[in-house]
Amino acid sequence: MMKSTKPSKQRKAIYDAPLHKRQKLVHAHLTKELRKQYKKRNLGLRKGDEVKILRGDFRGKTGKVTKINLKDLQVFIEGIKRKKTTGEETEVPFQPSNLMIMNLSMDDARRKKVIEKVK
C-alpha cells in the first residue's frame, strides 16, 4: 500500500485510506477451480459469496457472506456466531485474507464486467 516499511505507517495508511482503496483491501483468494475458470487469483468479496474459513477457531467451515464492514475491514459469515458471557450470541468478524471464495454471487453487474474483462 505504501513505500514505507514501518508497521505504524502501514497501519495508519490503512486506517486513513479512502473507500475506493479500502474496497481493494477486501479481496480473497479463489479456489483452484475458480482460478482456472476466471483466470484470476483473487476477487473482491461481495455479499452472498460462499466462503471457506482458512484460519482461526472456525477453520474449515463454510458459509455465505452476510455483511462486509469496510470501516474495520471485517467480513461476517452466515451461521458463524460466538456466545458472550451473558449468553447472548454475536456474529464473528473475519479478516478477508483468512477466507477463500468457494462460490461467487453473480447478482452484481459490475462483478460480471470484471470477470468478463479477463476471459
Residue type, 24: K
Distance CA 36, CA 32 (A): 6
- Rounded Cα distance between 46 and 36, Å, is 20
Range of the domain at 45: 7-118
Q: What is the CATH number of the domain that holds 26?
A: 2.30.30.30
pLDDT tens track for 15-34: 999 999 999 999 999 999 99
In a domain, 26, yes or no: yes
Residue 108 lies in a domain: yes
pLDDT tens by residue, 46-102: 999 999 999 999 999 999 999 999 999 999 999 999 999 999 999 999 999 999 999
Which grid cell sits at 84?
A: 458472550
Q: Is residue 1 part of a domain?
A: no
How many domains does one find in the chain? Answer: 1
List strand residue ranges (DSSP E) for 70-104, in order: 74-83, 89-94, 99-103
Q: Would you say residue 2 lies in a domain?
A: no
User: Domain for residue 97, yes or no?
Assistant: yes
Separation between Cα atoms, residue 4 and residue 26, nearest integer Å: 21
Residue 106 included in any domain: yes
